Amino acid sequence: MQKIVVLPDLVVDQIAAGEVLENPASAVKELIENSIDAGATEIRVEIEGGGLQRIQIEDNGSGMNREDLALCLKRHATSKIRSAEDLGRLVTMGFRGEALAALAAVSKIELKTSNGKEGSYLAAQGSQSEQITPRPRNRGTTIEARDLFFNTPARLKFQKSAAACAAAVLKTVQTISLAHPEIAFRLLSNGKLTFDVKLSEWKKRAEEVLGPFAHEIAAPSVRGLLGRPEEGKANRSGQVLFVNQRPVFSPWIAKAVKTGFGTRMREELFPVFLLFLEVAPDAVDVNVHPQKKEVRFRDEGKIYALVQNAVIGAFQQSAPALPPVPWDFTPMPTTPFILREQPTPSIEERLPMEPCGRPLVQLGDFLLVEEEGWQLIDLKGASARLLFEEIEAPQAAVQPLIWPLEIDLQESSEEVSELLKAAKIESHPLGPKRLAIDALPSGLEPAQVSAFLQEFQGGKRDRRLAAVVTRTCRASTRAYSFEEACLIWRKLQNCEDKQYDPLGRTLAVSLTKEALKEMFR
């Protein structure tokens, strides 16, 4: 008997909706992004019941003509890209042509739109749309979605209370508004005005939404505001990052900011910051997360140095500059340079040498250090050691994620959640085999989480923390930049055990002149 069937369109759309639309806030985010892409200068959001009962977004953007309105609810219908190459030069927020199709699949929607010449109206329910009828309207678009997730009970069941949903919508509107001071935003929740900002410029908008900041970053490609070092928080809740005006989450960049604070801030605290990073569209991949919450950079090391230096620069405006201490090695060639501006040398490069040892050159996953002859350091093993000691530390810093990571498992989510506690990973089950990760130990990057979880799967393997950490780090295919390699080596110097990885494999091999001579005999 035939077992494979092609899924009906509505089911396909509902599956896709599960990825794009997690809750009312993600629907609001998609709709606002569309209004921004349409060039709106005023966006008005109305929600009822936290958005589960009703979401309405009204804008004064370009609107659509009748033909475009007929297409806009179709999956992969977009006016923003034409080819895969366009992904490398994205300047719009949307590009997948998925949001409206997804929303139409899981709610009852009505669209009113006008391009200034003709106005049209369209209603659809669970992807079934009616005829388009003429309907006058000023230029712009109004989209109303009622009964969100009415036909996807599983998704509906996992929604939070109306109040929590409303709070998440408010946060979404506020966050997006930070990157678009040129747009006036209004949010009404159950008829009450809860957010209202007029046209402004970025610093004023930031203070209006987030309150005052102490320091300003004004470097090429990076601008933003920093809280005082002593105002650091116990978690990441005070951190907002935009890459090309897109709100994203990147512990990697957060770490670069923290490093820029240097010793001004206590180890366990998280700096408060608002950061806008501008990179060439082809230097960043936004197509790695269904809700575009994560981005990947072509050259993480360069971005890291850029951010770190910008933060250092913000503090140096009032303090004397550090004298430059030049290195006397030729660094490894790195991948072609992709940022618009050349970053200045990183703090790691400018700091005086450690008293013992000096990194010379990187050989793939190994670093050659001049220290009692030479030492060859195993970087993967060393990063496992660092992560292990960070997790084991009694006061290990745990970083709540602004946006929890959702992961599908092979095993019971309750059990895995319990096991993860030992690794200081906080999580809660979303379903029998689906888990939301809420917080990570500070040394673990979200990009490593799925590899980490894979190591837990199957049950038969060694589930000791030491084994899981070591296997995760050793299996990583991430290439280290020379700066990162030096950082790993420097941090290793502070480890309790800097000789061995958590499973007891040696981390450094001595190369003496004699031993080298011996090799060539």
**Interacting residue ranges for ligand ADP, rule: CB under 6 A:** 30, 34-35, 37-38, 59, 61-64, 68, 72, 77-80, 94-101, 141
Min CB(188)–ligand ADP separation in Å: 18
Q: Kindly state whether residue 40 participates in binding Mg ion, applying the rule CB under 5 A.
A: no
Three-state SS letters, 480-519: CCHHHHHHHHHHHCCCCCCCECCCCCECEEEECHHHHHHH
Among 94, 232, 271, 290, binds Mg ion (CB under 5 A): 94
Q: 67-70 long-range CB contacts below 8 Å, 24 or more apart?
A: 69/111, 69/113, 69/120, 69/122, 69/132, 70/122, 70/132
Question: Given the complex with ligand ADP, which of 59 and 389 has the nearer CB atom?
Answer: 59
Q: Kindly state whether residue 229 participates in binding Mg ion, applying the rule CB under 5 A.
A: no
**Cβ distance 122 to 166 under 8 Å?**
no
Q: Which does 381 bind (CB under 5 to 8 A by kind): ligand ADP, Mg ion, none?
A: none
Q: Kindly state whether residue 61 participates in binding Mg ion, applying the rule CB under 5 A.
A: no
Mutual angle of helices 99-106 and 9-20, in 10-degree steps: 110
Question: Given the complex with ligand ADP, which of 73 and 382 has the nearer CB atom?
Answer: 73
Q: Is the dihedral of CA 75, 77, 80, 82 positive or negative?
A: positive
Min CB(94)–Mg ion separation in Å: 3
Min CB(35)–Mg ion separation in Å: 9
Taking the CB of residue 374, how many other CB atoms lie within 10 A of it? 18
Question: Given the complex with ligand ADP, which of 80 and 505 has the nearer CB atom?
Answer: 80
Token pair, residue 27, equals: 């629907």
Window of 67-75, 94-102, 126-134, 219-227 that interacts with Mg ion by CB under 5 A: 94-102
Among 47, 99, 222, 440, binds Mg ion (CB under 5 A): 99
Question: Given the complex with ligand ADP, which of 68 and 354 has the nearer CB atom?
Answer: 68
Q: Which does 169 bind (CB under 5 to 8 A by kind): Mg ion, ligand ADP, none?
A: none
Q: Kindly state whether residue 20 participates in binding Mg ion, applying the rule CB under 5 A.
A: no
Which residue's Cβ has the minimum distance to Mg ion? 94
Dist. CA 429–CA 437, nearest whole Å: 9
Q: Is the dihedral of CA 103, 105, 108, 113 positive or negative?
A: positive
Q: Which does 97 bind (CB under 5 to 8 A by kind): Mg ion, ligand ADP, none?
A: ligand ADP
Q: Kindly state whether residue 34 participates in binding Mg ion, applying the rule CB under 5 A.
A: yes
Min CB(33)–Mg ion separation in Å: 5
**DSSP 8-class letter at 500:** B
Dist. CA 169–CA 50, nearest whole Å: 7
Min CB(139)–ligand ADP separation in Å: 10
Q: In Å, how far from its chain's centre is CA 509?
A: 37
Dist. CA 158–CA 431, nearest whole Å: 9
Phi-psi region of 364 (alpha: psi -120 to 50; beta: other; left: phi over 0): left
Q: Between β-strands 215-219 and 192-197, what pairing exists: parallel, antiparallel or unpaired?
A: unpaired
Which of 408, 200, 226 lies closest to 314 in space, CA to CA? 226
Question: Given the complex with ligand ADP, which of 28 and 219 has the nearer CB atom?
Answer: 28
**DSSP 8-class letter at 400:** E
Min CB(36)–ligand ADP separation in Å: 9
Span between the terminal Cα atoms of the chain, in Å? 70
Q: Total number of residues binding Mg ion (CB under 5 A)? A: 3
Q: Between β-strands 184-189 and 42-48, what pairing exists: parallel, antiparallel or unpaired?
A: parallel
Question: Given the complex with ligand ADP, which of 141 and 152 has the nearer CB atom?
Answer: 141
Question: Given the complex with Mg ion, which of 34 and 115 has the nearer CB atom?
Answer: 34
Which residue's Cβ has the minimum distance to ligand ADP? 94
Q: Which does 492 bind (CB under 5 to 8 A by kind): ligand ADP, Mg ion, none?
A: none
Q: Which residue type, as a one-letter code, is found at position 104?
A: A
Q: Which does 38 bind (CB under 5 to 8 A by kind): ligand ADP, Mg ion, none?
A: ligand ADP
Min CB(382)–ligand ADP separation in Å: 42
Question: Given the complex with Mg ion, which of 94 and 260 has the nearer CB atom?
Answer: 94
Question: Given the complex with ligand ADP, which of 67 and 408 has the nearer CB atom?
Answer: 67
Q: In Å, how far from its chain's centre is CA 251?
A: 7
Min CB(84)–ligand ADP separation in Å: 14
* Residue 85 to residues 77, 88, 282, 285, 294, Cα–Cα distance (Å): 17, 6, 10, 12, 20
Residues that bind Mg ion (CB under 5 A): 34, 94, 99
